[in-house]
Structure 1
Amino acid sequence: MTQYPTPDREGHFWAKLVHPHREPDGEDWKSPDWEVVQVNDNNGTGDDKWRVYVPGIEPGQLIDAFIWGPRIPDFSQST
């Protein structure tokens, strides 16, 4: 998969966690493959502007900890 720019808005994206933050000793949170993550506005500035949530990892991660893939389009339910 081609590497994409760092997200600048909220949403779901394909990504690989490569530099985990707050990882406990003896655990390996690095992504072996591409996975879907959720990017949220953290109401901060600089490195704290965004928080990224990875399934199965409790602490939110900093946005610079990833290799980024494409954004996943928002779900729209048609009636």
Structure 2
Amino acid sequence: MAEHPTPNQEGHFWGKLVHPHNEPDGEDWASPDWEVVQVADNNGDGDDQWRVYVPGIAPGQLLDAFIWGPRVPDFTT
């Protein structure tokens, strides 16, 4: 998958976690493959503006911890 720009809006995106933040010793949170992650507005500024939520990882991650793929289209009925 080609690398895409860093997200600047909320939504679901393909991402690959490569530099996890707050990872406990002995654990490996780095993504072995691309996965769908959720980007959410954190009501902050700068690095605190966005948080990325990865299934199975409790603390939200920063945008710079990822290689980014395309946005996942919003679900519509």
Coarse TM-score class (shorter-chain normalised): over 0.9
Give the corresponding residue for 1:71: 71
Q: CA deviation at 1:72?
A: 0.3
Tell me, which stretches of 5 or more residues in structure 2 are unaligned? none
Runs of 4 or more above 4 Å deviation: none
Provide the TM-score with structure 1 as the length reference: 0.97
Give the corresponding residue for 1:4: 4
CA distance in 2, matches of 1:58, 1:20: 12
Letter of the 1:76 partner, please give it.
Answer: T
RMSD between aligned alpha carbons? 0.3
Q: CA deviation at 1:12?
A: 0.2
Per-residue CA deviation, residues 21-47 of structure 1 (Å, 9 max, x unaligned), is 000000000000000000000000000
CA distance in 2, matches of 1:16, 1:46: 21
Provide the TM-score with structure 2 as the length reference: 0.99
Give the corresponding residue for 1:54: 54
CA distance in 2, matches of 1:19, 1:45: 21
Give the corresponding residue for 2:29: 29
CA distance in 2, matches of 1:33, 1:11: 20
Number of positions where the alignment pairs a residue of Structure 1 with one of Structure 2: 77
Q: CA deviation at 1:76?
A: 0.4
